[in-house]
Chains A and B, each alone.
Chain A
Amino acid sequence: MSKQVIALFPEASFGSALNCVGIAQKLQRQGAVPVFICHPGFSGVFAEYGFKEYQLPVNKGVQAQTEETWQAFVTAHLEHFNQDPTAQLSTYVAATWDAIVDTAIQVEADLEQLLKRIKPDCIVLDNVIMFPAIANTGVPWVRVVSCAETEIPDANVPPYLSGMAADDPARPGFEAAYLKVTAAAHLRYNKFRQGCRLAPLPAGKFLETSPHLNLILAPEAIRHRRETTLPRDRFVFLEGCVREEAQFDPPPLPVNEGPIVYLSFGSLGAIDTVLISRMIDVFAKVSARFFVNVGGFLESYQSVPDNVYLGSWFPQPSIVAQADLFIHHGGNNSYCEALYFGVPSLVMPYCWDGHDNGLRAQQTGTGVYMERGSWTAAQLYDTITSLMADHELNAHLGVISGKMAAADGANTAASLIRQLIDRV
C-alpha cells in the first residue's frame, strides 16, 4: 500500500508555518509523507526541517518590490500598532484583508496546478482564507485554526480581533465596524469564489469550516464556553501543537545570573525597535537574563546591557521551555507554547488575534496583559519581577502544562488526519 501524502499549506507567517511543521513531524513519524506548499519567500524553511517543498510561483513585479513593500509597510503601519483594536480596523485590518484576498486570487491557478502534481490524499490548510483550488481538489481538507479560538465565532466567544470580552457592550459596534471595513475585500473575494464554482461566504467570513475536520489549538485552560457546542466529529481541540525544535543552549552573558526571560514579538513585531529599546533599558535593571528576538533589526541596537542577549532567531520551544517568563505579542503559537511549558506570559499585543489572547491571558490567570504604548519603566519592572515571583501562578501553569504535554496535540492532529484519509 502506498504511503499517504499530505499537503500542508500554511499561510505566510511563522506561527502557522511552524505549527504545521509540528504536525508534519508527527505525520512523518507515523509513516505518512507530509509535503509543504510554500508561499514565495518561504522556500528552504521547510526543507531545513526535512520536508519536500512545492513553491508557489511569485508574481515577478511583486518579488522585485519586496524590500520596498516592507519599508512602505513599516512606515505606514508602525504607528497603528499602538491603536486599540477598533481603531485598527480601518488603519490595519482592512488593508491586511485586501492583501490576503490579493494573494488568494494571484496564486489560484498555480495552486491548482501544484495540487495536480502533488496528488495529495489530504490537504491541511492553516490559513485565514479559502483557496478555491483546495476545496475543488476532491480530496478531504483539514482546517487548522492556529489563530485564537475567536476565529470560530459564537455568541459566547468575543468577536475575532476585538480584544474585548464576549459580553462587552461595545461588541455590536465592533462587529458592525468590522463588516464595514472588510466589505470591499469581501465582495471582491466572493466574486472570485463564484468564478471558481464556490458558494459565497457570509459577510466578514473569508474561510469556511471544513466539512471533514477542524483542528483548534486552544487548550482547555483558556477555552470559551460556547453557546453552540461545536460538533465533536468535526472539531477537535488539540491542547496546543508544539513542534520539535533544535536545542538552544543559552550563551553565557557577562552578567550570567538569575532567571531567564524570553522576549519575542514575532518577526513583524521586531520592527518596533523603539519599543524594544525602551524595554531593554528596563531589563538592564532586573536581576535576570533576557533573551530578545529582534528579528532582522539587530543593527538598530547598540550598547546592549550585560544581562541581555539579542538574536535574530531563537528555536522558540527550546528557549521557552527554559524560561521563567515569556514576553510576547499574543501570537497564538507563542501563547500556546508558553502554556505548554508552564511559563507565565506578559502579553503586549500589537495587532490581529494578539488582542484576543492578551485579554484571555488576563481573564484566565495565565498571564498579564499590558498595553504596548502606555507603560512606565517602573510598571514594566514591577510586572516582570512580580510575574516571576508569583508561585501560585506558576503552580497553576504547571498543571496546565502537564495536561497539554500529556495530550500531545501535534501527534493527535497527525493521527486524526490519517484516520480521515482512511475514512473518506
Chain B
Amino acid sequence: MSKPRSNTRQNHIKLARLITEIVLERGLSKGDHLPESTLSDACGVSRTPIRSALKILENHNFVQRRDEGGYFLQVSPERIATESLSDLDEMEDSLAVRILSDRAERRITDVQSVSALVRRYDAPRSAVLNALKILQGDGVVVQMTGRAWAFQPILDTHNALNDSLALRILLEPQAIIARNFTMDGQKAGAVRAQMEDFLRRPDGELGSAAFLHLDCAFHSFIAECSGNRFMRGTLLAHQRLRQSTQKDHSIPDFRLRQSLVEHLDILDSLERRQLQLAADQMVLHLRRSQIRKPQAVNRGILPMGRGGLA
C-alpha cells in the first residue's frame, strides 16, 4: 500500500533539508552545480525523490534550474544554514505550527479530537494526524485513551516562561561542559553573521519576532553542539517549543541588543574552547533574561508577580 501523499511530501522536505546539510558539509559556494547523481549517492536514494527535493528548494529560490542542465546553488552557504533550514522546518511543520500557535494563543482548548481539528483547519484527516505525530515527537501533545489528544504545558504564560528559563539555566550550561562538545565552525559563523546583521539595524526596527527567531536559532545551535545526546534532544525540543509558542513582546531594544552581544561573547568563548567560561556566560545571560516586568502594579501597592530582590 502506498503511503499517504502528505507523508511523501514530508519525506521530500526532509530530503531537501538533507541536501542543504550536504551543501554545508562540502563547503559549496553560491553558483556551484548540484549534480543529481552525487546527491543521490550521498543521500542513498534514487534520483526521482532527489529531483522532487530539488524542486522544493527551487520553489523557495535556494537553487536554480539552468538550461545547460541541472540545479545550481542560488544562495550563500550562510543563508542556507539559517534561512533555508528554518524555512524547511516551517514547511515541514506548517499545520503542526498552526495548531501549536492556536493553542498558545488560546484559540483551542488543551484537549482536542482529530475530528475537531479537521473541521477547524479544513485539512485531511491524514494531515492532522501527521501534524499531531510531529507535535507528539516533540512531547507537546500526548494521545489519550480514546481519540482525544492532550496538550502538554507550553510557553504561553508568565509562569510558564519562568519555568522554561529555570529549566534552561539548569541544562544549557551543562550541555556546554558535557563531554565531547563539538562546534561546527561554519554554522557558528552563519549564526554569528545573522546576529551581527540584526545588531546593525537601528533602534525601533529590531522586532521581537525576528529576535525570538534568532534567539532560538542560537540556543538550538548550542544544543546541537552538545556531546550529551539526552540534553541535546531535550533542549532542541524545548527550543522548538519556544519558537512556536513563546510570544514575548516585552523586551526593549536595549535588552535585545545586550542579549545578542551576550550570545556573541558566548560564541567567542566557545571558539577559544573556553567551555567553562562559556557555560558561566550562559548562566549570566539566562539570569538576565529571567528578569521580568511586574504583572500588575498600582500606586501605593507593591507589584504582583515579582520575586525577591536581586
Question: Is the C-beta of A154 less than 8 angstroms from some C-beta in chain B?
Answer: no
> Considering only CB atoms, which chain B residue lies closest to A53 in the complex?
B310
* Contacting pair A45 B294 (CB below 8 A): yes
CB-CB < 8 A to A312: which residues of B? 157-158, 250, 295
- Number of inter-chain CB pairs below 8 Å: 170
* Contacting pair A247 B205 (CB below 8 A): yes
Pick the contact of A12: B157, B207, B251, B302 (CB < 8 A): B302
Q: How far is the CA of A63 from the CA of B296 in the complex (A)?
A: 15
* Contacting pair A55 B309 (CB below 8 A): yes
Question: Is the C-beta of B305 less than 8 angstroms from some C-beta in chain A?
Answer: yes
> Considering only CB atoms, which chain B residue lies closest to A128 in the complex?
B299
* Contacting pair A295 B296 (CB below 8 A): yes
Q: How far is the CA of A367 from the CA of B223 in the complex (A)?
A: 51
Q: How far is the CA of A301 from the CA of B110 in the complex (A)?
A: 12
Question: Is the C-beta of A376 less than 8 angstroms from some C-beta in chain B?
Answer: no
Q: How far is the CA of A43 from the CA of B290 in the complex (A)?
A: 12
* Contacting pair B298 A313 (CB below 8 A): no
CB-CB < 8 A to B105: which residues of A? 304, 309-310
* Contacting pair A44 B297 (CB below 8 A): no
* Contacting pair A247 B207 (CB below 8 A): yes
- Name, among B204, B253, B298, the residue most crowded by chain A CB atoms within 10 Å (CB to CB): B298
> Considering only CB atoms, which chain B residue lies closest to A45 in the complex?
B293
* Secondary structure of the A contact surface, majority rule: loop
Question: Is the C-beta of B5 less than 8 angstroms from some C-beta in chain A?
Answer: no
With A48-B254, A296-B158 already in contact, the answer to whether A313 and B306 are too (CB < 8 A) is: no
* Contacting pair A49 B106 (CB below 8 A): no
* Contacting pair A249 B247 (CB below 8 A): no
Question: Is the C-beta of A306 less than 8 angstroms from some C-beta in chain B?
Answer: yes
CB-CB < 8 A to B146: which residues of A? none
Residues of chain A having any CB pair with chain B under 8 Å: 11-14, 39-45, 47-50, 55, 57-58, 62-63, 66-67, 69-70, 73, 96-100, 102-103, 128, 244-249, 251, 254, 267-268, 270-271, 295-296, 298-299, 301-306, 309-315, 318, 352
Having A40-B306, A96-B298, A247-B205, one finds 10 other A-B pairs with CB under 8 Å, namely A73-B298, A99-B301, A244-B253, A246-B204, A267-B297, A268-B298, A303-B108, A304-B106, A309-B105, A311-B247
Residues of chain B having any CB pair with chain A under 8 Å: 102, 105-109, 156-158, 203-210, 247, 249-256, 258, 291-306, 308-310
